[in-house]
Structure 1
Amino acid sequence: MNAGSADPGQVVAAYAHALDALDVPALEAVLTEDTTWSFTMPGPKVLGPVSGRAAVLDFVRAGHAARSGTVRHHLGNVLLTAADAAGAEVRAYLLQTRNTGDGVRLLSTGVYTFGLRRDGAGWRIAELALALDNAL
């Protein structure tokens, strides 16, 4: 994917594929320059916000370097909850797995909320909020 998507649901799917493959150009293409990511976990735990595309990409690279096995972000029940000409909100359930070759392990579940913004090339992720159901 070289640019934003014409469909908000497709930009969310493109995000997950690019994230898991550490396809930095594809991930960069679906993020706004001023994108902001934040994460909450049970209890008072909050990670972020991580602000700006460059900082988010550094965050993703560090996460990939620290992990072992193949991690997949399975997004389901993708729902467009709001949209107008300039912006949209998409919610999706997360099921995150890791395969180390010895078996598949469930890492986490949660709910993503994506705030999307439309530009000349299509939809891009301006805000990403992930509410995890368990602490990692």
Structure 2
Amino acid sequence: MIAELQQAVANYAHALDELNMPQLEAVLTEDTTWTFTIPGQGVLGPVAGRTAVLDFIRDGHTAQTGRVRHHLSNVVVATTDAATAEVRAYLLQTRNTGESIQMVSTGVYPFSLRRSDGGWRIAELALTLDNAF
């Protein structure tokens, strides 16, 4: 089960970076919520519902420059039962403009996941960044 949960989180990061909307839709629950804490800006969100989250992702992708990657590491399954799980990962976000590579931000990604017919899906994401960008 731990490998399945780690795979769900990895699928999220890959789909996010590639703007693979069908894969993102498949890894999010319909009632998913996203909340972001950014130093100096406070708490943003929650962005509630899969449709709103997908729109938020599209808007963010349009605004970014260069190739952004979300590197997740130290993925730990904190608690789990047959239907729900808590997963925590560190974030290192990079941007490659073709001329330079930048470290954009670091942070902590707590995920709450729920099991569905299609496997594990992200029900809640509460990213806390270490820096404003």
Smaller-chain TM-score bracket: over 0.9
Matched, 1:72 2:69: yes
Q: Which runs of 5+ in 2 are unaligned?
A: none
Count of aligned residue pairs for this structure pair: 131
Match for 1:116 among 87, 99, 113? Answer: 113
What's the CA shift string for 1:26-79, capped at 9, x where partnerless? 000000000000000224611110000000000000000001100000000000
Matched, 1:46 2:43: yes
Matched, 1:22 2:19: yes
Q: 1:89 is paired with a residue of what secondary structure?
A: strand
**CA apart distance, 1:14:** 0.1
Match for 1:33 among 30, 34, 39? Answer: 30
Match for 2:5 among 4, 8, 13? Answer: 8
RMSD: 1.0
AA paired with 1:27? L
Matched, 1:106 2:119: no
Matched, 1:81 2:78: yes
AA paired with 2:78? T
What is the match of residue 3 of structure 1?
none
Percent identity over the alignment?
69
Runs of 4+ in 1 over 3 A off after TM superposition: none
**How high is the TM-score relative to the length of structure 2?**
0.96
AA paired with 1:125? I
**How high is the TM-score relative to the length of structure 1?**
0.94
Q: How many Å separate the matches in 2 of 1:54 and 1:135?
A: 26
